Amino acid sequence: MGERDVVVFFDIFKVDKEGPVWRSSADTLDKAKERVQEFGKIEPGEYLIFNSRTGESLRISTENADSMSRAPYYVRCGSPGCKWQIALIDVSESESERLRQSFREHCIEAHALAPDDMEREAWFDLTKHTITLMGK
């Protein structure tokens, strides 16, 4: 089995003024965090770990390593004028599930999503940290 057969779930980006720049990838969140710390020694700053399977991302500042794993990040509703947001601790499966559940409930309440509509997709924007209910 070659390198290319490995399924990569976590992409690592350095956040520059122009936006996230891809740096590396890892097959587990722990490895991705380790790599961010290595990059941070050379180039301190903001990094994003993007879970390519669930679409969630974790923002890490290597200039403030202590608060890194505990600091929540916020995902906001992408619909114009909507103030809904949720704080997530990390990109784990359970947090991803919590995001999707909460957002679904929010959309049923605020955006006229039919409670039995399981087809409609939510678009997670990596750079803006928004989640938006897609049209039919």
Report if residue 113 touches Zn ion, rule: CB under 5 A.
no
Q: How far is CA 122 from the centre of its chain?
A: 13
Report if residue 92 touches Zn ion, rule: CB under 5 A.
no
Contact of 93 with 53, CB cutoff 8 Å: no
The three-point CA angle 39-131-21 to 5° equals: 25
Q: 1: helix, coil or strand?
A: coil
33 or 129: CB nearest Zn ion: 129
Report if residue 73 touches Zn ion, rule: CB under 5 A.
no
Q: How many CA atoms lie within 13 A of 109 on its CB side?
A: 9
Report if residue 82 touches Zn ion, rule: CB under 5 A.
yes
Among 52, 61, 79, 130, binds Zn ion (CB under 5 A): 79
Among 12, 75, 77, 131, binds Zn ion (CB under 5 A): 77
Residues that bind Zn ion (CB under 5 A): 77, 79, 82, 84, 110
